[in-house]
């Protein structure tokens, strides 16, 4: 049986496309696994780490007070 060059070209291009799709799928799965593992570790660390209890500080206004602001502040 003789080789068919058109079939060979078709199968070669199909294999190239399939391998590219498989590589992209593998990369996506690995990224999701890494993300899920990080989220799980963060959740465990947050569960066993006590809160710091920091007080929030009020920001001071740096703008000048106008006459309208002085009237409403009284």
pTM: 0.52
Write down the H helix ranges in 1-74.
Answer: 5-48, 67-73
- What percentage of residues in the chain have a pLDDT greater than 90? 51
Q: What is the pLDDT of residue 72?
A: 63
Q: What is the pLDDT of residue 66?
A: 66
Is pLDDT at 18 greater than 70 in this prediction? Answer: yes
Is pLDDT at 39 greater than 80 in this prediction? Answer: yes
Is pLDDT at 60 greater than 90 in this prediction? Answer: no
Q: What is the pLDDT of residue 42?
A: 92
Q: For the stretch 37-58, what's the b/e string if a residue is b when 16 or more beta carbons lie within 10 angstroms of its beta carbon?
A: eeeeeeeeeeeeeeeeeeeeee
């Amino acid at each position: 049986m003789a080789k068919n060059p058109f079939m060979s070209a078709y199968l070669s291009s199909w294999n190239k496309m399939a391998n590219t799709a498989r590589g992209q799928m593998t990369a996506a799965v690995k990224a999701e696994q890494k993300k899920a593992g990080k989220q799980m570790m963060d959740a465990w660390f947050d569960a066993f780490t006590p809160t710091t209890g920091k007080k929030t500080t009020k920001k001071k206004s740096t703008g000048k007070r106008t006459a309208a602001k002085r009237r409403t502040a009284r």
